[in-house]
């Protein structure tokens, strides 16, 4: 991150995580335009809502534009701010009401967690580009309220992923690659790992390790679980799961990158 505040290049990439996240946002927009429907990241809109298809197009175009804007020095701060606002608005307008209507429904919490992870990633970028980054102080400037809220939001987003492993245990077990032994154990361990990682990030104990392992786990899900399905020819539901897993991997990587100067086992650095 050294030099992020004084870099004068037109195109600036603060980290590999930023590049992957920005490219993923552009990809989500392209998929939305091709499918003429919301991708899972932008899901939750009632099908009968007036202006549904117009909102699909607007969201897709905005995703492409903001993703591209994250690569350019003159637009990165604005793009990250608008993206953060968009995800937070989506969380409040579309995800939270679903949780309120069905508070015991794991799917509603999962969807809210999806948006929370993406919002946290956008928040990290906004904090970077707003200048609230101090490499000498091991990451986000001490006392940064925005950074702390981003981490809490991210941790809260991870927890429903873990809970879903247990509430949909049979399905989770069926998704474990056939060449791995002990399918039930893998399903339980990975579910527990998401919950523990979420709590660790929230309380600030071994946050870097927790964030990195969560990102790795999401990436492995995308590669080992959904990769073969996509190669074999997915149906609409499987394709949506793949796109969602890819986007969450990008968001998790972005958050994990924010810890890159924090000691692996640090306590209370955020």
SS3 label, residue 226 = helix
Residue 7 lies in a domain: no
Does residue 130 carry a pLDDT above 90? Answer: no
Query: Would you say residue 139 has pLDDT above 50?
Result: no
The secondary element (H helix, E strand) that includes residue 103 is none
Q: What pTM did the predictor assign?
A: 0.90
Residue 5 lies in a domain: no
Q: Which residue has the higher pLDDT, 183 or 144?
A: 183
Q: Does residue 265 fall inside a structural domain?
A: no
Residue 263: pLDDT band with limits 50, 70, 90: confident
What confidence score (pLDDT) does residue 260 get? 79
Of the listed ranges 6-10, 71-75, 224-228, the one predicted with least confidence: 6-10
Q: Answer whether residue 123 is part of any domain.
A: yes
Answer left, alpha or beta for residue 140, where phi above 0 means left and psi between -120 and 50 means alpha.
beta
**b/e for 114-134, b at 16 or more Cβ within 10 A?**
bbbbbbbbbbbbbbbbeeebe
9 confidence band (pLDDT: 50, 70, 90): low
CA torsion 50→113→264→144, rounded to 10°?
Answer: 60
Question: Ramachandran region of residue 148, left (φ > 0), alpha (ψ -120 to 50) or beta?
Answer: alpha
132/159: higher pLDDT: 159
Does any domain span residue 178? yes
Q: What confidence score (pLDDT) does residue 264 get?
A: 79
How many domains is the chain built from? Answer: 1
pLDDT top residue among 262 and 225 = 225
Whether 53 maps to a domain, the answer reads yes
CA angle 148, 152, 156 (to 5 degrees): 170
Note whether residue 29 is domain-resident. Answer: yes
| Stretch among 108-117, 123-132, 135-144, 191-200 having the lowest mean pLDDT | 135-144
Three-class DSSP category at 38: coil
User: Can you tell me the mean pLDDT for 147-157?
Assistant: 92
At 35-52, the pLDDT tens digits run 999 999 999 999 889 999
Residue 51 lies in domain:
16-257
- What pLDDT does 106 receive? 94
Confidence of residue 143 (pLDDT cuts 50, 70, 90): very low
pLDDT at 187 over 60: yes
The separation between CA 98 and the C-alpha centre of its own chain, rounded to angstroms, equals 19
Q: What is the mean pLDDT of residues 126-155?
A: 65
pLDDT (average), residues 124-137: 65
203 vs 131 pLDDT, higher one: 203
Mean per-residue pLDDT over the chain, rounded: 89
When pLDDT is averaged across residues 146-151 and rounded to a whole number, the result is 83
Contact 152, 159 (CB under 8 A): no
Assess if residue 36 is contained within a domain.
yes
Please give the share of the chain, as a percent, with pLDDT higher than 70.
Answer: 88
* Long-range contacts (CB closer than 8 Å, 24 or more residues apart) made by 77-81: 77/126, 77/129, 77/130, 80/122, 80/125, 80/126, 80/128, 80/129, 81/126
Instruction: For residue 140, give the H/E element and its range.
Output: strand 139-140
């Amino acid at each position: 991150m050294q030099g992020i505040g004084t870099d004068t290049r037109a195109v600036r990439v603060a980290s590999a995580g930023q590049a992957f996240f920005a490219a993923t946002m552009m990809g989500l927009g392209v998929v939305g335009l091709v499918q003429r429907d919301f991708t899972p990241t932008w899901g939750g809109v009632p099908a009968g809502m007036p202006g549904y298809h117009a909102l699909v197009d607007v969201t897709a175009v905005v995703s492409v534009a903001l993703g591209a804007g994250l690569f350019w020095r003159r637009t990165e701060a604005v793009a990250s701010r608008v993206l953060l606002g968009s995800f937070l608005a989506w969380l409040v307008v579309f995800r939270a009401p679903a949780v309120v209507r069905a508070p015991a429904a794991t799917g509603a919490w999962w969807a809210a967690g999806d948006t929370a992870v993406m919002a946290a990633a956008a928040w990290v970028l906004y904090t970077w580009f707003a200048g609230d980054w101090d490499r000498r102080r091991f990451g986000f400037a001490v006392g940064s309220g925005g950074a702390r809220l981003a981490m809490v939001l991210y941790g809260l987003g991870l927890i429903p992923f873990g809970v879903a492993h247990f509430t949909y245990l049979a399905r989770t077990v069926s998704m474990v690659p056939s060449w791995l032994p002990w399918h039930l154990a893998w399903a339980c361990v990975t579910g527990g790992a998401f919950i523990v990682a979420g709590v660790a990030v929230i309380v600030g104990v071994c946050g870097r390790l927790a964030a990195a392992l969560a990102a790795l786990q999401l990436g492995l899900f995308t590669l080992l679980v959904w990769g073969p399905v996509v190669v074999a020819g997915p149906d609409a539901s499987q394709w949506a799961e793949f796109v969602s897993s890819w986007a969450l991997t990008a968001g998790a990587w972005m958050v994990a990158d924010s810890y890159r100067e924090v000691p692996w086992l640090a306590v209370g650095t955020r």
